[in-house]
Amino acid sequence: MAACSARAASSLARRYLQAAMLAAWLGCVGGGQATMAQPPGALAEERVEALPRVPPQPPDQALGTFRTLPGFTVQLVASEPLLADPVCLEYDEHGWAYVCEMCDYPYTDPADDVPFADQTAALPLGRVRLLKDTDGDGRFDTSTIFADELSWPTGLACWQGGVYVAATPDLWYLRDVDGDGRADERRQVFSGFRKFNVQAVMNNLKWALDHRIVAAGGTNGGTVVNPSRPHDPPVTLGANDFAFEPRTEVLELLSGGARFGQSFDDWGERFICNIRNPVVHVVLPRHSLARNPLLPVRSPLHDAAAAGDALRVYRASQAEPWRVLRARRWAAEAGRVYPRSETAAEGYFTSACGLCIYRSGAYPREFYGQAFLCEVAGNLVHRQKLEEDGATYRAYRIDAESEILTSSDNWFRPVNLTNAPDGTLHLCDMYRETIEHPWSIPDDLKQQLDLRSGSELGRIYRLAPAGFRYVPPPDLAAASTTELVECLAHADCWRRETAHRLLYERQDGAAVPPLRELLRRHEWAVARIHALWSLWGLRALAAEDVLAALDDPEPHVRAHAVQLAERLLQQGGSEEKKLVQALLPKAGDPALRVRFYTAFAAWTLGEAGLRALAEIARQDAADPWVRTAVLSSAAGRESALAALLWEQPQVPRPLLREAAYLVGARAERAAVESMLTGLAARLARAEEADASAAEPAVQRAKAGHQMADVQAVLAGLASGLLLRGGSLASAAEQAGDSARRLVQHSMEAAHAAVSDPQLLWEDRVAAIELLGCDSSPAALEALAALLTPQQLPALQFAALRALAARTDAEVAPLLLRAYPELGPAARGELLEALAARPERVAALIEAMEAGTIRVRDLAPALRARLLNLPDEGLRSRLAQLVAAHALGPRSEVLAAYSQALRLPARADEGRRVFRRECAACHSLHGEGRQVGPDLAAVRHRTPEELLVHILDPNREVPPEFAAYVVVQNDGRVATGLIAADTPATITLRRAEAQEEIILRENIDSLAEAGSLMPEGLEQRISPAEMAHLLAYLLGR
């Protein structure tokens, strides 16, 4: 309690000081009258003359500003004038440090900094510095400018006595030939990386286990070429990372695409970070997904940690006055959308960077494998614990209401971390007065800031544990090949990874026997994995090595053996049969991670691989990552896979439906016909088998469930065909009598099933989806009959999806007739259906003019879309309606509902309100849908903050929850969050997690449109209900 009280007192004192400084300053510039009651925009109009500034601390005094976990200390390793602006640090085989100095951050001349434009006028002022510790005391004492005149240098990787340097717009190889500490060789390896946003550049080159150098690609993009390979086609870099093998220097795109930082764990799993997303696991490899480009993939990335507003940070420094003022201004600004982390001056991740997984031996054992990352704007270092979670990971805060490292010095700017040769973490401190991107600061405030202040300063620190004694690292350049192999089992990852690289560089065949001994005998699995990949890098990996590793007791070793078996099979050879026979049983491996990688490898196994995929699907079809892996390897063979899945006792319906969708989207007549005729034959056999059931009730239940499986497959096939302009009916006609009878029989069964309350709701949904392919009036009436309050939401939404896809003129009147009886979420989907086709929009506007539909029921994104209709007459009518029914000012609504903060409240009543108004798009305690943010993340907010977000939902919309409007070539329009984005398709998600897949080739335009969350909730939630809802959301 004492520690908590001290933290609370410190935080309170810091806030008082911050408020006093800001109030004093506002009094100076605003005539002494500064109150919180100023109207929105008032702060923006104040005259800004002089912001208070904090002076820098000399290095020895800066050490006194740090607070660490008990037992840890911060030790100075290097400081100005030995270096300046360090943003990246790598140690070579001698233990020397190469440092990227980003002296051109954020610009070289403010006159050349044009917001949201390419920064080609910026001078190349960046450098690479070479630091050495000549006396072995653990502090660098000599410094050489290894290379200068580099543009935005942000990443380093050692190779053959030199370094690769990421320096946008180029990637260079630099090497000192004559031994004077300066690079004589300077070779442009790649060029064409876009020089746009200084905080979104490629960065952090890291060696992977497979002997490729991997770069975090940033988000600037570019069209990249290799000048030494002029005949290679340019590579378009989008939201990707990339890799290259130094011996070939061919660039390959990878899954990824985030801001600054990346790290590997011991098992070769890669993690990146992205300002408000501190720990992101790269789950799905891009090269595997590329085998099946039509496969809708939500994202190859997984947020392992809570992101954005959901993750608090606890700084020791006070927020800078300009930041406080900007936050207040943005929070009060009407009509603009900002993330929560930008409308609060402190307390949230805004600049997560420099992710590093600790993998050495100097810290206590429990620190091994923890993720450390910098929050540069908050002057702190944060850490998370990583735990495996199926095919991916989850991460969570370790330090309760505190951080492992904070500083009270605003100039402390931690930007990157590395596992150092001494077994500790070394930290790059850019040491700047202001670190913010110039485009993120209002012009009047920016005029008062010197954004280059501190460009001549910089520090490197060691985070040392209790009792730490520095021991100079060995010179691995002088190590023998045998000694390097031994280093693969060292406790410190610098030694392991440096030895791994040097063995690859030397290509010494003498390493092969000790590597095989290490692979088969060493007790540590990490060493065995290094041995595997070192053998691969030496081109000495034999089938026997992989076969031994496939039987390893450690699942991660087996997983790597699977990946290497896939590579050997791609090369072919006499041992192929042995590898296939050994790889196939891994489909039943007890470890999910092994089965996951086996699913990716199965594409090399021919027909036997399909059986392996079916076995993996039997066990893991519920896991979306494994399901994606299975379908990626079944590319072009989905019909055959579906046939195998159908033979299993428990048919994985979601996977079957997705496979059928891919068959339809591929539009290959033979595959479509094979699926239809095969499905007809299997259903006939199943019905014959069920006819012998002793209990008629059991027989009916099984038959109904099997028919639902068939209907789901047919619905998936139909949705895929529809993407290509085809239809299920025409495909059945082409496939022959059995297929035609199958579709007819399934349709008849669907008509009966949609209204049968005795069936499982999942089976009824399958029937509804199929009924959407029936163009008959009877199908139209059957679907419309489901739009009643007596039906489950899942059935209502399935019916709405089916109706939205139809072109009948009768659809609009049926939808309008049902509208008054539906709940808020279903109404939102119904409005989407009305607005999806131009011919229905007029009916929608007429209903609003008649008062049948209220203007406020339109979600902001939908309203904005309709206000941009090409038909001027309809657009004008809607504009008049919007003007006439404008909601009252949010400030007035908030004032009226402030009583909810004082009313008695019950969480159980709040749960009812949540289910009625929120659960269609938000989840909490296992209830609801994950369309918008998980509301478990709001518990750290105050009731006042939460009230603002509920009643003014468009004030802050995080980018990942922004809605988009897609106009298709045939005139249809759709709105939703982008849930999946592949080279061939995008997937939109709306309330109740309803999803719509759209082929890119069918898209006419794509534009952001604000929030899916409706305004005007005060019309449906009373102040008393709001009090209950707040109590439930906040857990009170």
The pLDDT tens digits of the residues spanning 709-738 come to 888 899 999 989 987 888 898 999 999 999
Chain CA centroid to CA 24, Å: 42
458/540 same-domain check = no
Task: Residue 967: give its domain's CATH number.
Answer: 2.30.30.100
> Which residue, of 578, 593, 608, is where some domain finishes?
593
Last residue of a domain, one of 464, 494, 521: 464
Kindly state the tokens that stand for 96: 């020397």
Residue 940 covered by a domain: yes
User: Where residue 114 sits, what CATH number does that domain have?
Assistant: 2.120.10.30
Place of tokens 């989840």: 923
Query: 289 and 235 in one domain?
Result: yes
pLDDT of 114 over the 90 cut: no
Co-location of 483 and 511 in the same domain: yes
Give 435-482 pLDDT, tens digit per residue.
998 888 888 888 889 999 999 999 999 999 999 999 999 999 999 999
Of 593, 618, 644, which one is at a domain's C-terminal end? 593
Calpha distance 621→657 (Å, rounded): 12
CA distance 773 to 750: 11
- 389 and 291 inside one domain: yes
Contacts of 1007 (CB under 8 A, 6+ apart): 964, 965
Does residue 644 form part of some domain? no
pLDDT value at residue 230: 92
Neighbours of 68 (CB within 10 A): 17
Q: What is the pLDDT of residues 175-226, one digit of tens each?
A: 999 999 999 999 999 999 999 999 999 999 999 999 999 999 998 999 999 9
Q: How many CA atoms lie within 13 A of 420 on its CB side?
A: 28
What is the predicted pLDDT for the residue at 1016? 66
- 3-class state of residue 47 by DSSP: coil
- Provide the pairing of β-strand 985-990 with 963-968: unpaired
Mean pLDDT, the chain, rounded, equals 86
Smallest Cα–Cα separation from 681: which of 763, 736, 634?
A: 736
Residue 842 lies in a domain: no
d(CA 862, CA 871): 16
> Could you tell me which of 1029, 1033, 978 has the C-alpha nearest to residue 1007?
978
Q: Give CB contacts under 8 A, 24+ apart, made by 398-402.
A: 398/370, 399/69, 401/4, 401/7, 401/312, 401/314, 402/7, 402/314
Q: Tell me how far apart the alpha carbons of residues 807 and 775 are, in angstroms, rounded to a whole number.
A: 9
Answer whether residue 24 shows pLDDT above 60: no
Q: What range does the domain containing 280 cover?
A: 2-464
Domain count, the chain: 3
Kindly state the average pLDDT of the residues 99-110.
94
* Same domain for 505 and 441: no
Q: How many CA atoms does the CB half-sphere of 334 hold within 13 Å?
A: 8
Please give the backbone phi and psi of residue 1021, each rounded to the nearest 5 degrees, phi first: -120, 120
Q: Is residue 104 part of a domain?
A: yes
Are 219 and 163 within one domain?
yes
Q: Looking at the structure, tell me whether residues 185 and 215 fall in a common domain.
A: yes
**158 and 14 both lie in a single domain:** yes
Q: Is residue 833 part of a domain?
A: no
Res 4: pLDDT: 39
Clarify whether residues 405 and 547 are in a common domain. no
User: What pLDDT does residue 34 have?
Assistant: 30
Residue-wise pLDDT tens digits, 148-188: 999 999 999 999 999 999 999 999 999 999 999 999 999 99
Q: Do the beta carbons of residue 159 and residue 246 sit within 8 Å?
A: yes
Buried b (16+ CB within 10 A) or exposed e, 107-126: bbeeeebeeeeebeebebbb
241 plus 104 within the same structural domain:
yes
User: Considering the domain boundaries, does residue 383 fall inside one?
Assistant: yes
User: What are the beta bridge partners of residue 277?
Assistant: 274
Contacts of 718 (CB under 8 A, 6+ apart): 664, 727, 728, 770, 772, 773
Instruction: Read off the DSSP letter of residue 348.
Output: B
pLDDT tens string 392-439: 999 999 999 999 999 999 999 999 999 999 999 999 999 999 999 888
Percentage of the chain modeled with pLDDT above 90: 54
| For residue 81, cis peptide bond before it (omega within 30 degrees of 0) | yes
Adjacent-strand bridge partners of 88:
100
User: CA separation (Å) from 235 to 190, 223, 230, 286, 945?
Assistant: 10, 6, 12, 14, 46
Greatest alpha-carbon pair distance for the chain in Å reads 92
Residue 616, domain member (yes or no): no
* Strands, E assignment, 26-72: 66-68
Is 859 a member of any domain? no
Same domain, 535 and 437: no
Pair (483, 447) in one structural domain: no
